[in-house]
Structure 1
Amino acid sequence: MSSSSEEYTVEEAKENIGVLRRVAEDVVDAIENAEGEEVLEYLIEEQALDRLHDGERGLGQVRRGVLESPLASDRLKRIVSLRGDETPEEILVPQGVQRNAKVALEAGKPVVLYGPTGTGKTTFAKQLARETSIGYSLNTATPSWTPSDIIGGISPDYTGESLSYRTKLGCVSEAVERARDFDVKYGVILDEITRADISKIFGPLYTAIENPHQTIFETDEETTIELDERVNIICTMNMSDRTVNELDNAITRRFAMIELDEYEEDKRRQLFKHWITTYVTSETDLDENEILRLFERDYEGINHGNEATSQGPIMRFGPMHYRDVAVFLGVGCREGGEYEYDQTDAVGQAFRTYIVPRLLNAAAFPQIERIAEHYRALNGEFEDYDLSPAAELAERELEQERRQMGSYE
């Protein structure tokens, strides 16, 4: 089929589906000359020709055609933008967190989602981007990040016979370009920003937020990049890395700071039960109710303390860590797995591998003592499981801390 100005109907698309499955250019032509959105719906929703020609994810010529089409609805644009995105659709974070984040973005404010490790900040950031934008990019900060990673900079080009330099867009500038190209709202997630020097990398971005019409970058083609109201900037940070009070005032003034901490009890149990039934009891002989009770007791003891001994919480610790425990148990205890015949021993090893190291990573000396006590108590309470590996790891860390403290005395 050659390109023409005649309108392309659903009947023609069905008649030519064999050719459309083989030739991507004909699909683009059909999109450009479609009689109505139902043609695009047939090509993309029913036949998934974007997946066939462009792959499971990424921006190919078919998806670009949909995004550029004046006939495509936001719903259809989201379908092609989010191909291959396995982010859970159900949002479990507290409703107040959801509402505040959405209102902040609607008001034109970049958002920082902060809280303890394991509270699902990255998952919610992706869910938020999906709900408020047509597409999004995810970028994880590193200690080596510079302002060029955010707004763009000069990078070497080795493709020619001699070394040359070209401008390269940063992640925010790329989002601006995407929003402009397709005239859509576009999200950019900057994940775990406390890994980088926030004051250093965000300097030019702060200026752009204060002066949205100021050029922040210019490409080799002399195209200027300014912060665009269609771009939603969403950041995440772990508060085990830094407290809010220690942050540069510049970010707290310019960003909406939204805490993601406690889940409602029923939502947390829903998560635990889903992971246990999906990964553990479908593959092993471990008891669903007892594993759920262990997850709950461990989480409560860490986050809320022990009422019987009047001890307060050890630290803030999110529920997402327990998914790793569930997956470990499912893989290790299934038929042919390493712990097929030692399933009760596997439980302690899973906690030793995934939970205790993450607690110790952020713990001060008094908290390390509490962690060791906590797992000794759990080991006594859950007679069917050997939780001593978890307790022993904490006790070794405690002894090491005591030796180091003694050497300074």
Structure 2
Amino acid sequence: MNNSSDDSYTLDDARDEIGILRRVTDDVVEVIRTAADEEVLEYLIEEEKLDVIHDGKRGLGRVRRAVLESTLASDRLKRVVSLRGDETPEEILVPRDVRRNAKVALEAGKPVVLYGPTGTGKTTFAKQLARETGIGYALNTATPSWTPSDIIGGISPDYTGQSLSYRTKLGCVSEAVQRARRFDVEYGVILDEITRADISKIFGPLYTAIENPHQTIFETDEGETIELDERVNIICTMNMSDRTVNELDNAITRRFAMIELDEYEEDKRRQLFKDWITSHVTDQTDLDENEILRLFERDYEGINHGHEATSQGAIMRFGPMHYRDVAVFLGVGCRDGGEYEYDQTDAVGQAFRTYIVPRLLNSAAFPQVERIAEHYRALNGEFEEFDLSPAAELAERELEQERRQMGSYE
């Protein structure tokens, strides 16, 4: 590999040797390190996409690492390589005050908890927030087996040698700190669905670190100490379908900014429904898109605000994002050659039976189960062009089981 000077690699050099650079990873890394200016990096990454060729569609490979380490690379270019392959929607649909409050909290150095009912787009907004406030992010979904080691770090067995040994292993927050330090960037770490884990247990050491940010929370085998870093934005999501903020350990509400996601503005919610129907239903099926839109609206309103046909109030809080799954199901099932190509009106009820009713029942107490069943009986009567009986029947069966368990089945 040749370059036009002993000190730097120019854009002309890169263009002359692009054939070699497309094949040899070591040469690409060296060019990035010795580039004359950012124009060289932009050519390699944005025009030629050499990071995709050598590192794959996503992930932190050698080429992307070299860009992040380069003093010539702008934050914009670092975002390009950090977020390569990320399909998070660009448009932020949450209410304006939610977005502003979350950004201000992070700028003030507070970790954020995005909480609300299922289907309100908490995870999507968490990713958008991380993208907007940092160079990249890591998404980690909590499990019931999580311990403080998953957050901070711990000791892990190493089977690579001839005998068993133990090494330190970074937790997700410690990894984010290490990455922010190494590349001198703001970096986000998302802890998704934290209510699946024992919050008080997993966050214990983190609580202490938030109160004392200069305190060491972990030390690697190489002697590197990990402390919370102001460049790391911690963003959590929490499904509140079965608990309220008042039921949480007050340690988290004292140390985290609690940002609620609940109702979407009506015009934005309606636009979401329209977009999903246009993308998945309109060209793939013979279903009346206006009636599908009306069904989505009526179902959402009945669940969240009540249904005049049943003279009942709201059943529960339920987000609009669930209806995207219904639209996708209809598009796939009713397209040419699909399972419901010749039974498209039946597909609607099956989609609600598959994606909407189970999610409602999963969070419902007995009185709510009764109202869910009544709600879908009413919808089935209102929308005669669709067969919503599968959704209503599923709710009815759950109601019968609840009655048996309560000893009141007749």
Distance in 2 between the 1:257 and 1:102 partners?
12
Task: Give me the whole-angstrom Cα distance separating, in 2, the residues matched to 1:276 and 1:82.
Answer: 28
Question: 1:170 is matched by which residue type in structure 2?
Answer: G
Q: Distance in 2 between matches of 1:5 and 1:84?
A: 35
Q: CA deviation at 1:270?
A: 1.1
3-state DSSP of counterpart to 1:215: coil
Whole-Å separation in 2 of the counterparts to 1:196 and 1:337: 39
Q: Which residue of 2 aligns with 1:359?
A: 360
Aligned residues: 409
Mark the runs of 5 or more structure 1 residues left unpaired by the alignment. Answer: none
Amino acid at match of 1:228: D
Distance (Å, rounded) in 1 between the aligned partners of 2:328 and 2:111: 35
The amino acid of 1:238's aligned partner reads N
Tell me which residue corresponds to 1:28: 29
The percentage of counterpart residues that share the same residue type is: 87
User: What does residue 38 of structure 1 align with?
Assistant: 39
CA RMSD, aligned part only? 1.4
Are positions 1:269 and 2:270 aligned together? yes
* Residue pair 2:115, 2:261 contacting (<8 A) in 1 also: yes
Aligned partner of 2:240 in structure 1 is 239
Looking at structure 1, the residues matched to 116 and 281 of structure 2 have their Cα atoms a distance apart, in angstroms, of 28
Distance 1:159 1:310 in 2: 66
8 Å Cα contact 1:194-1:241 kept in structure 2: no
Give the corresponding residue for 1:96: 97
The 1-side partners of 2:206 and 2:59 are apart by 27
**Conserved? CA contact 2:151–2:202, under 8 Å:** yes
- Residue 152 of structure 1: how far off its partner (Å): 0.3
**Unaligned ranges ≥5, structure 2:** none
TM-score, normalisation: structure 2:
0.98
- Distance across 2 between alignment mates of 1:25 and 1:276: 47
Q: Is the 8 A contact 1:348 1:388 kept in 2?
A: yes
Q: Distance in 2 between matches of 1:148 and 1:265?
A: 42
The reply on whether 1:342 has 2:354 as its aligned counterpart is no
Moved more, 5-14 or 50-59: 5-14
What is the CA deviation profile of residues 139-165 of structure 1, one whole-angstrom value per residue up to 9, with x for unaligned ones?
Answer: 000000000000000000011111100
The answer (yes or no) to whether the contact 1:91–1:127 under 8 Å persists in 2 is yes
Counterpart of 2:406?
Answer: 405
Structure 1 partner of 2:66:
65
Give TM-score, length-normalised by structure 1: 0.98
Rounded to whole Å, the distance in 1 between the matches of 2:24 and 2:400 is 67
Conserved 8 A contact 2:134-2:185: yes
1:81 matched to 2:97:
no
Give the conservation status (yes or no) of the 8 Å contact 2:2–2:13.
no
Aligned partners of 1:227 and 1:2: how far apart in 2?
A: 43
Which amino acid in 2 is paired with 1:320?
Answer: M
Q: Distance in 2 between matches of 1:306 and 1:397?
A: 21
Q: Is contact 1:104-1:256 (8 Å) kept? A: yes
Which digits, 9 at most, give the CA deviation of each residue in 1:111-139, with x for residues without a partner?
00000000010000000000001010000
Give per-residue Cα distances to partners, 1:323-370, cap 9 Å, x unaligned. 111111111111111111000001001101110011011111111111
Question: In the TM superposition, what whole-angstrom CA distance separates every residue of 1:275-330 from its partner, at most 9, and x where no partner exists?
Answer: 11111112111111110000000000000112465521110000011011111111
- Contact 2:179/2:187 (CA < 8 Å) preserved in 1? yes
Give the residue type in structure 1 aligned to 2:69: E
- Between the aligned partners of 2:162 and 2:196, the Cα distance in structure 1 is 37
Q: Deviating runs (4+, > 3 A) in structure 1?
A: 2-5, 307-310
2:154 partner SS? strand
1:327 is matched with: 328
Asked whether the 8 Å contact 2:310–2:374 carries over to 1, the reply is no
